[in-house]
Amino acid sequence: MSTSAVSNLSTSVATSTWTAVSPTAKQSWHASIDLAARRTVLLHILMLLKSKYGRVDSKISYIGRRAELALYSQAFSAWEYRNPQTLSRRLHSLVIKLHLNNLAAVEDAAFADLQTQLFAGEVASRKRKCSAVGDKTPTGKRARFDLVVPATTNAQSSSSLFFDGNCDLLQHVCSFLSAPDVMRCATTCSQASSQLPTFVTSIEVTTMALLKLSVANRASFFKRFDNLESFSLTGRTHAEQFNFQDEQTLVSRNVLVRSLLQALGNAEIPKLSVFSLNFCYSMGLKDQITRQVANVLAGPSSRFPRLHTLSLVGNCISDDGIMDLYDAIALPRDDTTGTSRLALLDMSQNFIGERGHVQMQELVTQFASHGATLVVNVQNNLLTATAPVSSNISAPSFE
């Protein structure tokens, strides 16, 4: 458990609500756990806290008891609740989620402010266009339009010759260039700006780079890339994926991802087949970004019928986020949409527990019943490799 995360535990307890997940299936195993078993788990928690704080006083004891109650409420089974091998990771994820939950209101306010800026920019743009039209046709006077032939330089004429009717050649040249190189070429002239982005098929970008874009450019980011097939956004630029003490960066990255998903939902990219958000966002107890990913990319209303790879590595996704993905992917689809082509779902390095594992195995089984193969990667989550999760289900494609 990281020191930065544990240092925020006391404030998280004071300002967050320790909610209990309440599916009816969870109540059955509670009867098999007596007070002695719960005291044993509490003792393990206090030992972990002592290893970090160096002591166990009344305050740390209170924190330990609240943590035990939360783990007891959230565990999917008695095995998961009592498992000492996963206790440290489950406690770590609980601390992180509670700390992030304290930032939810700040994040929502920042996202609302971004939407206000975007709306104000659109209104100002429309006013400028109307004003420009009004300036060209003065009222009360007959408009005069003088035929002006602009001086054409050799560079301009040669660029026109190069871009007119050479679509295949342009596409061949762009196939040897990376997306940043293509976009640099697109800044050379207006014809390049309108044509070259359509030849970009793969984009790999960092959150740091996208945070430098203006609000308007983020909102229209995907509209320029009609033939985009693969998009990868990563926030992992250092050894550690998140610095949980840098709250401003945590909030800004979450707002960035929410705005990008909103822009993606309004874009027409029928060829998109690979989408990755790795180490990009981190939500609290309510994972609305994963729910947004599920609705935009994985649900029946998705506008990306060719999507076969979805990677959400290292985003602090818990079992609730897995449930949102399952609900979206498993929903029945109409004849026009067709069956889901999803073949790889990478959920490694998150906070997925036993309930999430069981749900993903059920999803794999559903795909197999329709003759399709779905590979779900849940490595490096909360469970150990020997976790007895749905051992009666044969799912060879489940890693």
* pLDDT the model gives residue 188: 77
Q: Look up residue 75 and give its two tokens.
A: 């565990």
Sole residue written with tokens 């996208």: 210
Count CB atoms within 10 A of the CB of residue 327.
15
Closest CA to 25 of 292, 324, 319, 295: 319
Tell me how far apart the alpha carbons of residues 358 and 346 are, in angstroms, rounded to a whole number: 16
Q: Are 65 and 73 in contact (CB under 8 A)?
A: no
Do residues 319 and 347 make contact, with C-beta atoms less than 8 angstroms apart? no
Annotated domain spans of the chain: 3-101, 201-377
Is 53 in a helix, a strand, or coil? helix
Spans of the chain, pLDDT less than 70: 1-27, 121-165, 237-242, 333-338, 384-399
Nearest to 61 by CA among 4, 2, 9, 8: 9
Question: Phi first, then psi: what are they for 287, rounded to 5°?
Answer: -95, 80
What phi and psi, each to the nearest 5 degrees, are found at residue 214?
-75, 165
Q: What is the pLDDT of residue 15?
A: 39
Nearest-angstrom CA–CA distance, 54 and 102: 26
pLDDT number for residue 240:
54
Q: What is the chain's alpha carbon radius of gyration, rounded to the nearest angstrom?
A: 26
C-alpha 16/C-alpha 285 separation (Å) is 10
User: Which helix (H) or strand (E) covers residue 204, if one does?
Assistant: strand 202-206
What is the pLDDT at residue 192? 76
Distance spanning both ends of the chain, measured CA to CA: 25
Listed residue (246, 238, 236, 249) closest to 276, CA to CA: 236
Express each pLDDT in 192-239 by its tens digit. 777 788 888 999 999 999 999 888 888 989 998 999 999 999 997 654
Element (H, E) at 159: helix 154-163
SS3 content of the chain, % helix, strand, coil (to 5): 55, 5, 40
In angstroms, the CA 244 to CA 39 distance is 30
- At 387 the pLDDT is 42
Backbone region of residue 268 per phi and psi (left: phi > 0; alpha: psi in -120 to 50; beta: other values): beta
Distance of alpha carbon 287 from alpha carbon 95, whole angstroms: 15
DSSP-based three-state secondary structure for 190 = helix
What is the per-residue pLDDT for 326?
Answer: 95
Indicate the average pLDDT of the chain: 80
Residue for token pair 């590979």? 375
Instruction: Give the DSSP letter of residue 398.
Output: B
Q: How far apart are CA 17 and CA 44, in angstroms?
A: 23
The CATH number of the domain covering residues in 201-377: 3.80.10.10
342-369 burial, b at 16+ Cβ within 10 Å, e below that, comes to bbbbbbbbbbbbbbbbbbbbebbeebbe
CA distances from 279 to 119, 148, 221, 253, 276 (A): 29, 54, 20, 10, 10
Which residue, 348, 342, 399, 347, is CA-closest to 373? 342
Query: In 3-state terms, what secondary structure has residue 301?
Result: coil
CA distance 175 to 229: 13
